[in-house]
Every structure is written in C-alpha cells, then in structure tokens.
Structure 1
Amino acid sequence: MMFLQQLFIVALPAVLCYPPSFIDLETKDGNRSSIRFLVVGDWGGLPNAPFITPIERATAREMGRTADQLGADFVLALGDNFYYKGVKSVDDPRFQETFENVYTAKSLNIPWFVVAGNHDHAGNVLAQIEYSKVSPRWNFPYYYYELNFRIPKMDSTLTILMLDTVLLCGNTDDFLDQKPQGPRSSVQANRQLLWLQERMARSKSDFLLVAGHYPVWSISEHGPTDCLLKRLRPLLVKYKATAYLCGHDHNLQYLKESGIGYVVTGAGNFMDPDIRHRNDVPKNSLRFFTGKASTLGGFTHMEVNKKKLTITFIQARGTSLYRAVLPKRDL
C-alpha cells in the first residue's frame, strides 16, 4: 500500500505553494525501473440488481489478469463510478455491489485514485470522498488533487493531476445528449483552474499527466468539450503536458495533437460505436478507435520508465488493441 497522509494535505486548493510530496510505491521487484498502472472510466455498474453489466464484469476480470501479468501499482478511476445517480451516502450498498464485489482479483488490491463524473455529481460526491476512510484501496481525498511518484531506481518523476471536469464545466444529462452548460459555481471552477495552472507551471516532472472525466477531443457521442478546449487545452500545450486521460464516451480512443496524447478510456461498463463527431477533431489527430461490443469492454495499461510513457489499449477479451509511446517532457 501507499503512504497517503500527505496526499490529503496537497489536495486542498488553498495550499498552492506546498512542495510536492512523493507517494512511495510498494514494489516487490527490486530490479524494476518503471511505474505501471491501469486507467478505467465509466465503470459504474447499474442501480438495480445485479448492479453490474456483463461488460463491467468482463473488464474487471481482464484488469485483474493484466495487473497480474504486466504489473500495476495503482488504478486511475476516471468518473461515472456509480450509474446513474452516484451514491447517497458513505454507507450506500453500491460501494460493495459495484466496486468491492466486482474488482476482487488480488492484483487489483492496490490503490485506486478516483475522480467524479457527471453521473457521480447527480448523487453525493462527498460520500465518495468519505469512502476513502472506509476502504483501504479507495483514494479520493478531494474533488481534484495531485499525485507525485518517483520512478524506481531512476531520478525521473511522474506527476498526475486529477481534475473534476464537472465542477470546471458544469453537469450534463446524458439522456438528453446535453453538453455541459457551465459550472454551477464560477468561483469554484476558477479556483480549480488557478490550482491547475499553478501546479502545471511549477511542475518539473519528466512526465506530466492530467486526468478528468470529460474529453478534450473525442469523435464519439459527446464529442469535444468546448469548455475544456477553451480552458484546459491551452494549459496542456503551454506547459507541455505528456497526455490527457478521460472517459465519458463509452469506447477507447487515442488522438495526438500538438505533441500531446489524448486518451479516451470510457469502456468499463458500456460500449458505444458512435463516431458522429469524427469531423470535429483536428485532421489526422485520430490514431485509434474502437467501440465494438464484441470487445466486451476495455481499459488502458500504462508504463512509465526513464525515457517514455507506453500506453496500451486492452480489450476485455484479453488482447491488446493499440499501443502508443510518448517521450518524456522536453523542458
């Protein structure tokens, strides 16, 4: 497990100048010189029995196999953790029915770092934050927060900035196919944006990842998020982020634009082949897409070593579908 006490300190938005605290990875392989982790979005089951979908179950099973075979130090869970209206309280049985009883592989008994999606904001996000005190592997210290890691046996570092894109851009009703209509609180949105800009400007990490729920670029049902194109993308470019990770659209996508990798990994519970926004992304930016139901769902495995980030898209049927490599930041 990890030492997470300091994480709760750096998560608070008021503490803008707190020096980055590094999370110590527990590794049994003394020769390893990389960090490995899984990324899954939109994995949140169903509100009625059996509380999970066949895709969630298949994806959870393959995540366990992948973590066992390729290794995983932690999981990033990128929102829509509980369909369709989040959870009501920290005692909500959905924590057991859709999370604890599903991701049961020993290899997944590792820290999960969580952010909220639009469906989570239809319920009680604070209850999900509070659940961090209940489950030893559930880590959700605040709506947005910073993770810092040292790559084993190297002087290289990895920073992941976890965002709440719903607080930043507003909520959306998927059943009405809405776009985010603007933040509920502009003060809260601007505070998060200032926090993000300060963290990115200060970062000297060799690899800088930003993760949230809504996509910047997507060719699928929801398409590009105008708010993030306006408010987030300029920061990603200016501060040379390595990649942006998200879900929201229920498929797997990889786009590359202005040297930044855009990973859509929202295939944890449903699959959607929709490509209605294929002409709304920059020309030649799309490198990979699948929304086929026959994949049974999917996720990404990432590995960071001294020189590169390797992103592997994996289908729940048990094979890798696409691999992308991004270099360390040129600062």
Structure 2
Amino acid sequence: MALLPLLSMVSSFLFLSSMAELPMLEHPLKSDGSLSLLVIGDWGRKGTFNQTLVAAQMGRIGESLDIDFVVSTGDNFYEEGLTGIDDKEFEESFTNIYAAESLQKQWYSVLGNHDYRGDVLAQLSPVLRQIDRRWLCLRSFVLNAEIVDFFFVDTTPFVEHYWDNPKGHHYDWRGVAPRETYISNLVKDLDLALKESPARWKVVVGHHTIRSASVHGDTIELQLLLLPILKENGVDFYVNGHDHCLEHISSNDCPLQFLTSGGGSKAWRGILNSVSDKLEFFYDGQGFMSLQLTKTQAHVVFYDAFGNALHKQAITKQFHSQI
C-alpha cells in the first residue's frame, strides 16, 4: 500500500491507472508526437569518479535534444543505498549533481543491488519528492507515452545469491519476501502487461544485465525467467545498468536489442568477454545514453563523459494507420 501515497503526489501530468497488476503512469509526448530521454545508471557517488563530469554533459545533451525525462537504471546510491529518508546523500549524489536546467525533468528510477543494501523503503518514499520533485522510484511499474510503453522491472530479487548475504552484505527484503512468490507474481504481471500493451514500441528497463560482455556478464536468472517473456511479446529494447560500461548487443534470433547504460560514475573495469549474441558496441568507461522515438523510428546514441557520441543506432518500423 506504500505505492498509493507516493502516486498521489506525482506531478499533474502523471495519471494512475492499471495494466495487469503493475502500477501505470503516463507521460505526454511532444507536440510533434515524438519523445526523447536520457538513460543513466550506477551513478550515486557524491560527484566522484567523474559523476559530475558525466552530469554536466547530460545537461548539455539534454538541452540539445529537449528531453522529456530521464531514466535511471539503478544503483542510485553507493555503496549501501540510503540510510533513511533524511540521508543527505540523496541531495549530495542527486539533487546537487544533476543541476542543469535540462535535467529538471521527471526522473523514473528502478532499484539496483546496491540500493537494496540500504533502506529500500526510503528510496520508495514520497518524502523524497518533497526534497526533490523530480524523483520517482518504484519497484516495478509501466510508463505509457502513447507510442511507447516502458516496463520498469525490479530485477534484484531475481538474483538468488543476494539472498545468501554474499560477503556479509545486508539486503533489505521488506516487501519482496518470500522470493519465489514475489518473482512469480512479477513475471506473471509483466507478461500480462506486455500482452495488453498496444504501444508501437516496448522498452523494458531493469538494473541487471541479460546480455553483457563486461564483468558481471549475463544474469542467468533473467535469462531463464525474463528473456523468454521479452522475446514472446516483441520487446524492442532491454535497457539496464549493473555493468559499469556502455554497450549494445543485438539478439541473434529476434529484433530485441540489449542496451547497457551503467557508466554514471565508477567504470574502467578492463574486461571484455565474448557474448553469444552480436556485440554491436562496447565502451569500458563513463557515459550515458539517449533514446529518441517517433512512431516509425528509434534513435539510440551512446556518449562518453565528454559528450562525444561514440555509437549510434537507428531502427525503423513500418507504420500502418488504421482507418
């Protein structure tokens, strides 16, 4: 029930409805029917590890693209999430860093594994919106923008070894235990929401990788439980963080594209592994991603910490109007 007071405080352009059992929010398109956004992940380090530099370039690119909102792929606050709703790291790692005018838009966020090491309910709390109205973080939800549906998925509970307290880390499982029940319900709800979606584009956002050539590599639990649903329901993009890099991998057997934007701060792992699908682009450093959408085209661009465009991909869909 913690979702209800949060959603009641959302800005006037958001509306609560339902798609399957997942909360649904709405965001308007531009007057020309297009949508543009930035994607950043693995960032919250009080400006260190080039977080401030990346944020500055996000502001510059955000202005040039006239972005509508920002997506965060999780690991919002390092190393141990937030300690509570009064934790100053929220302002030190978010409000004070992403200060550019173009970034004063809604931020839609999911939780990462580092966020689960702290007070998860604090990140989900409507109190944070009183500190910074841009902030909106839910476990899993659907964001509808007419031509596109974004399906935000809480992926941390999928990963089994977190439940064994690896390396002595505490994880805040309030609201998600028992694991099997939570995952079963989430997978069922996501599958139904995808099937019900009439959107031209379908984008799934999670923290953990499904395909990755970097340190963490493929997440087995997501391959087994999530990937078949994405393929079955014609998802166009799976967008994630977790690996601290930028990468684009295209599926060999369907149109699904795997996009990693986890370069918000600490990066440069120095590892590049082989992948079973086609590796289109890989960059081991800091940066972020933009996504521009119309009814017929999607444009993906990856940028480094200096705002240089490192990789571009355009995807076209035929549009048949209904008479």
Unaligned residue ranges in structure 2 (runs of 5+): 1-9, 170-176
CA contact (8 A) 2:211 2:258 kept: yes
Q: TM-score, normalised by structure 1?
A: 0.83
CA contact (8 A) 1:61 1:103 kept: yes
Matching residue within 8, 22, 26 for 2:26:
22
Q: How far does the alpha carbon of each residue in 1:42-87 deviate from its partner, in whole angstroms, 9 at most, with x for none? A: 0111xxxxx3214101110000000111221000011000001000
1: distance between equivalents of 2:186 and 2:23? 18
1:135 counterpart residue number? 132
2: distance between equivalents of 1:133 and 1:327? 40
Unaligned residue ranges in structure 1 (runs of 5+): 46-50, 151-156
2: distance between equivalents of 1:217 and 1:97? 32
Matching residue within 141, 149, 158 for 1:168:
158
CA contact (8 A) 2:289 2:303 kept: yes
CA contact (8 A) 2:41 2:241 kept: yes
Q: How far does the alpha carbon of each residue in 1:128-160 deviate from its partner, in whole angstroms, 9 at most, with x for none? A: 1112454211112x310000003xxxxxx1100
RMSD: 2.7
- TM-superposed deviation, 1:326: 2.5
Do structure 1's residue 89 and structure 2's residue 84 form an aligned pair? yes
CA contact (8 A) 2:248 2:282 kept: yes
Q: Structure 2 matches for 1:120-159, cutoff 5 A?
A: 120-130=115-125, 131-140=128-137, 142-150=138-146, 157-159=147-149
1:286 counterpart residue number? 279
1:71 counterpart residue number? 66
Q: Residue 57 of structure 2: SS of its match in structure 1? A: helix
2:294 counterpart residue number? 305
2: distance between equivalents of 1:33 and 1:191? 34
2:6 counterpart residue number? none
1:256 counterpart residue number? 250
Aligned residues: 300
2: distance between equivalents of 1:88 and 1:77? 20
1: distance between equivalents of 2:166 and 2:78? 12
1:153 counterpart residue number? none
- TM-superposed deviation, 1:20: 6.0
What is the percent sequence identity of the aligned residues? Answer: 30
What amino acid is the match of 1:41? G
CA contact (8 A) 1:303 1:309 kept: yes
- TM-superposed deviation, 1:168: 2.7
Q: How far does the alpha carbon of each residue in 1:157-194 deviate from its partner, in whole angstroms, 9 at most, with x for none? A: 11000011012334649996x9xxxx862111111111
Do structure 1's residue 194 and structure 2's residue 179 form an aligned pair? no
What amino acid is the match of 2:144? N
Q: Cα distance 1:309–1:98, how it changes in 2: closer, same or farther (>3 A)?
A: same
Do structure 1's residue 41 and structure 2's residue 35 form an aligned pair? no
Q: Cα distance 1:66–1:228, how it changes in 2: closer, same or farther (>3 A)?
A: same
2: distance between equivalents of 1:269 and 1:23? 28
Q: TM-score, normalised by structure 2?
A: 0.85
